[in-house]
Amino acid sequence: MLATHSKVDKVAFAGSVEDGQSVRMTTAGSGKKLSLELGGKSPVVVFDSADLDSAVEGVVDAIWFNQGQVSWAGSRLLVQEPVFDLFIRKVKQRMKALRVGPSLDKAVDMGAVGDPSHLKVIAKYVEEARQEGGEVRVVFA
């Protein structure tokens, strides 16, 4: 494994938790620096002092960049209670205006999902959201 090579002093890994644990065990006690990206849920936090319009654009960028197919996609949204209702209304309005089209077009907000198997993963998360009481809306079809 490359991580064990004597000339490697930093290991960065992105992947599953199981593989990350293996990399951690391999590098343990070696003195190597280690960074692991193991599919966590990156939160977007919106405080009541935020510029809400800018925050809405940040939310769109965070979750829809590369169709959300990045490990750091903003897949959790935490909004301070005093601005919650207004912010969610603004997000819904922005979602209605999403530009859908070719993934390589810089003017597009939402392109194609990269792989049919990933579409199944997305559908699973949508169903989980429904089961947890989430509001699911079709913005475009």
Q: Annotated active-site positions, please?
A: 37
Listed residue (110, 118, 94, 99) closest to 39, CA to CA? 118
The amino acid that residue 35 corresponds to is: S
**Token pair listed for 2:** 């490359």
Cβ 60 vs Cβ 37: under 8 Å = no
90 near 57, Cβ under 8 Å? Answer: no
Under 8 Å between Cβ of 98 and 60: yes
Closest residue by Cα to residue 83 from 54, 50, 59? 50
